[in-house]
Amino acid sequence: MNRDNKNGVFYEIYVNSFYDSNRDGHGDLNGITAQLDYLNTGNPDSQKGLQVDGLWLMPISPSPSYHKYDVVDYYNVDPDYGTLEDFHNLVSEMHKRNMTLIIDLVINHTSIEHPWFKEASAGTSNRYRDYYIWADNDTDLNEKGPWGQQLWHKNPNGEGYYYGVFWYGMPDLNFEKQEVRAEVKEIGRFWLNQGADGFRLDAALHIFDEGTRKNIEWWNEFREAMKEINPKVYLVGEVWDQPEVVAPYYQSLDSLFNFSLADVIVRSIKNSYDQGVVRTALSTEELYLPHNPNKIDAVFLTNHDQNRGMSEWKNNADKAKTAASILLTLPGNPFIYYGEEIGMTGEKPDEFIREPFRWYEGEGDGQTTWRTPEYNTGRNGVSVESQDEDLDSLLNHYRELIRLRHKHVELQKGDLTEIQLNNPHIIAYTRSYENKSLDMYYNISDKPIALTVENKGKKIFSTHTNATLKKSTLIVPPNATVIIKSKSN
Ligand SMILES: [Ca+2]
Ligand SMILES: [Ca+2]
Q: Are residues 352 and 467 in the same domain?
A: no
Per residue in 402-445, pLDDT tens?
Answer: 999 999 999 999 999 999 999 999 999 999 999 999 999 999 99
Q: Which residues surround ligand 2, an ion (CB under 5 A)?
A: 108, 172, 206
Q: Are residues 162 and 139 in the same domain?
A: yes
By DSSP bridging, strand 449-452 and strand 473-476 are antiparallel
Choosing from 53, 86, 104, 238, which is the catalytic residue? Answer: 238
Q: Are residues 122 and 161 in the same domain?
A: yes
Question: What is d(CA 81, CA 87) in angstroms, rounded to the nearest whole number?
Answer: 9
pLDDT bracket for residue 283 (50, 70, 90): very high
Tell me the β-bridge partners of 201. Answer: 105, 237
Ligand 1 centroid distance, CA of 80 (Å): 6
Ligand nearest to the backbone CA of 108: 2
Ligand nearest to the backbone CA of 207: 2
Question: What is d(CA 168, CA 112) in angstroms, rounded to the nearest whole number?
Answer: 8
Backbone angles phi, psi at 234, to 5 degrees: -105, 120
Residue 290 pLDDT > 60? yes
pLDDT bracket for residue 3 (50, 70, 90): low
Ligand nearest to the backbone CA of 214: 2
Q: Are 218 and 181 in contact (CB under 8 A)?
A: yes
Tell me the β-bridge partners of 415. Answer: 432
pLDDT bracket for residue 86 (50, 70, 90): very high
Helix, strand, coil % over all residues of the chain, rounded to 5: 30, 20, 50
Question: What is d(CA 354, CA 337) in angstroms, rounded to the nearest whole number?
Answer: 10
Ligand 1 centroid distance, CA of 23 (Å): 6
Ligand 1 centroid distance, CA of 26 (Å): 4
Q: Are 462 and 448 in contact (CB under 8 A)?
A: no
DSSP E strand stretches across 82-155: 100-105, 152-154
pLDDT bracket for residue 488 (50, 70, 90): low
Q: Are residues 64 and 80 in the same domain?
A: yes
Per residue in 140-160, pLDDT tens?
Answer: 999 999 899 999 999 999 999
Per residue in 451-468, pLDDT tens?
Answer: 998 766 899 999 999 999
pLDDT at residue 210, as a whole number: 83
Question: What is d(CA 61, CA 426) in angstroms, rounded to the nearest whole number?
Answer: 45
Q: Are residues 135 and 217 in the same domain?
A: no
Ligand nearest to the backbone CA of 78: 1
Q: Which of 374, 407, 440 is the last residue of a domain?
A: 407
Q: Are residues 61 and 210 in the same domain?
A: yes
**What CATH code is carried by the domain that includes residue 256?**
3.20.20.80
pLDDT at residue 285, as a whole number: 98
Residue 185 located in a structural domain: yes
Sequence-separated (6 or more) residues with CB below 8 Å from residue 37: 48, 49
- pTM, full prediction: 0.97
Residue 1 pLDDT > 50? no
Q: 332 lies in which domain range?
A: 10-107+178-407
Ligand 1 centroid distance, CA of 342 (Å): 22
Residue 1 located in a structural domain: no
Orientation angle between helical segments 178-193 and 212-229, nearest 10 degrees: 40
Ligand nearest to the backbone CA of 211: 2
How large a percentage of the chain has pLDDT more than 90? 95
Among 313, 146, 298, CA closest to 234: 298
> Domains in the chain: how many in total?
3
Residue 353 located in a structural domain: yes
DSSP result, 37-59: HHH--S-TT-SSS---SEEEEPP
Ligand 2 centroid distance, CA of 399 (Å): 39
Q: How far apart are the first and last CA of the chain?
A: 33
Ligand 1 centroid distance, CA of 8 (Å): 29
Q: Are residues 98 and 32 in the same domain?
A: yes
Handedness of CA 105, 107, 112, 115 (dihedral sign): positive
Ligand 2 centroid distance, CA of 179 (Å): 15
Ligand nearest to the backbone CA of 202: 2
Ligand nearest to the backbone CA of 31: 1
Query: Is 202 designated active site?
Result: yes
Residue 321 located in a structural domain: yes
Ligand 1 centroid distance, CA of 81 (Å): 6
Q: Are residues 162 and 278 in the same domain?
A: no
Q: Is 38 exposed, middle or buried (0-12, 13-18, 19+ CB in 10 A)?
A: buried
Can you tell me whether residue 236 is helix, strand or coil?
Answer: strand
Per residue in 90-111, pLDDT tens?
Answer: 999 999 999 999 999 999 999 9
Reported for 42-47, long-range contacts at CB under 8 A and 24+ positions apart, including other chains, are 42/96, 42/97, 42/98, 44/406
Ligand 2 centroid distance, CA of 201 (Å): 13
Ligand 1 centroid distance, CA of 197 (Å): 24
**What CATH code is carried by the domain that includes residue 425?**
2.60.40.1180
Per residue in 388-404, pLDDT tens?
Answer: 999 999 999 999 999 99
For 187, the enclosing helix (H) or strand (E) is helix 178-193
Q: Which residues surround ligand 1, an ion (CB under 5 A)?
A: 20, 22, 24, 26, 28
pLDDT at residue 457, as a whole number: 87
For 104, which DSSP code? E
CA count, 13 A, side-chain hemisphere, 274: 24
Q: Which of 375, 407, 439 is the last residue of a domain?
A: 407
What average pLDDT does range 319-329 have in this prediction? 98
Q: Are residues 125 and 256 in the same domain?
A: no
How large a percentage of the chain has pLDDT more than 70? 99
Ligand 1 centroid distance, CA of 25 (Å): 6
- Average pLDDT, whole number, for the chain? 96
CA count, 13 A, side-chain hemisphere, 165: 17
Residue 456 located in a structural domain: yes
Backbone angles phi, psi at 148, to 5 degrees: 80, 15
Per residue in 23-69, pLDDT tens?
Answer: 999 999 999 999 999 999 999 889 899 999 999 999 999 999 999 99
Ligand 1 centroid distance, CA of 375 (Å): 22
- Please give the single-letter amino acid code of residue 216: I
Choosing from 86, 172, 202, 439, which is the catalytic residue? Answer: 202
